[in-house]
Structure 1
Amino acid sequence: MKFREISVIAQEVFSEGGRELASPCKRVAACGVLSNPLAGQPPTDDFSTLVDLSVTAGEVLTAKALAALSPLAPRGYGKGVIVGTSGDLEHGASMIHVRMGLAMRRGARGGPALIPGNAKVGPPGTPIDIMFGGLDDAWDYDAMDTMTVMVSDAPRADELLLVVAFLGGTRPNARIKGASPAQVLALVRQIKSN
């Protein structure tokens, strides 16, 4: 596996909504540009090459993102991919939804919460929104955040732009209170019983 390039984007937020942050917020995304071995090929249902590639690439990008996040510990994570225009949306899905999350969990010592992921097809310079979810708890509202990233010269038509991202601290000035998992479960039971 060879990257054409890796970009690490770090955002440190100091104020939001007219006030200084009560706790730190740092968003970091490691963006790797890779050749898509299935670009321009006839449609296939065998994505094993891309799944294997995603694990190796995910390990490298996770290490770079976590190094840039330091000294903060990760509280949330997210992932994304932009497939070049000679590829298929499912090429991207196979990169982020099958096994890449294992590399992220290992690196961050993450728990069982689902890692939000987003895939799209686009030309060089296409932005993608990376959604953050809690590392250990999918109901961690303060870890729910978003970061928009783009790499000006990627992905080319036969490439993939793979993104691994981590949130350190909390969403800027996070202060909403949502429903507890128990409240949501009770509501879902009520909805399904009607």
Structure 2
Amino acid sequence: MKFREISVITQEVLSEGGRELATPCRRVAACGVLSNPSASRRPIDDFSELVDLSVAAGEVLTARALAALAPLQPHGYGKGVIVGTAGDLEHGASMIHVRIGLAMRKGARGGPALIPGNAKVAGPGTPIDIIFGGLDDAWDYDAMDTMTVMVPGAPKPDEILLVVAFLGGSRPNARIKGASPAQVAEVVRQIQGT
């Protein structure tokens, strides 16, 4: 695996909604630009090469992002990918939905909650929104946040821009309260008619 470029974007939020933050908030995205080995080829159904590439790249990007997040501990995480225009949306999906989460969970000591992911096909300099979710609890409202990321000049048509991101602290000035897991289970039971 060889990166053409790695960018680490750090965003410190100091105030939101007219209030200084009571607790720190840092959003960090490690963005890796890689050659797409499946670009400009006939459609494929075996994505193992891209999955393996995502795991190796995910380990490097996770380490870079967590180093930039320190001394804060990760509270949320998210991932995204932009496939260059000579590629296929499924190339990106195979990189963020299959096994990259293992590298992210291992680095952050995260739990079973689904890691939000976003994929699209686009040209150089296109932004992507990275959606954060809680490490251990998908219903952790304070970890639900978003960061917009863009790398100038990437991805080229035959490249992939892979993004691994972490949230330190909570969403800026988070103060909404959601339903408890028991309340959610009850609503789902009612909806399903069981």
Check whether TM > 0.5.
yes
Distance 1:85 1:102 in 2: 28
Distance 2:103 2:158 in 1: 25
Deviation at 1:191, TM superposition (A): 1.1
Matched, 1:108 2:101: no
Distance 1:181 1:55 in 2: 32
Distance 1:190 1:98 in 2: 32
The superposition leaves residues 160-186 of structure 1 with CA deviations (integer Å, 9 ceiling, x where unpaired) of 000000000000000000111111111
SS at match of 1:186: helix
Deviation at 1:20, TM superposition (A): 0.2
Matched, 1:93 2:93: yes
Deviation at 1:36, TM superposition (A): 0.2
Q: Which runs of 5+ in 2 are unaligned?
A: none
SS at match of 2:27: strand
Count of residues in Structure 1 that have an aligned counterpart in Structure 2:
194
Higher mean Cα deviation, 178-187 or 151-160? 178-187
Matched, 1:11 2:11: yes
* RMSD (Å) for aligned C-alpha atoms: 0.8
Distance 2:156 2:118 in 1: 18
Partner of 1:28: 28
Distance 1:111 1:188 in 2: 23
Amino acid at match of 1:128: I
Amino acid at match of 1:142: D
Partner of 2:117: 117
Partner of 2:40: 40
Deviation at 1:22, TM superposition (A): 1.1
Moved over 4 A (4+): none
Deviation at 1:21, TM superposition (A): 0.4
Partner of 1:78: 78
Matched, 1:61 2:61: yes
Distance 1:28 1:166 in 2: 5
Amino acid at match of 2:129: D
Distance 1:12 1:136 in 2: 23
Amino acid at match of 2:60: V
Q: Which runs of 5+ in 1 are unaligned?
A: none
Partner of 2:52: 52
Distance 1:108 1:169 in 2: 13
* TM-score between the two structures when normalised by the length of structure 1: 0.99
SS at match of 1:15: strand
Partner of 1:182: 182
| Overall identity of the aligned pairs, in % | 83
Partner of 2:2: 2
Distance 1:193 1:71 in 2: 47
Distance 1:191 1:113 in 2: 22
The superposition leaves residues 27-46 of structure 1 with CA deviations (integer Å, 9 ceiling, x where unpaired) of 00000000000000000100
Distance 1:60 1:165 in 2: 12
SS at match of 1:168: strand
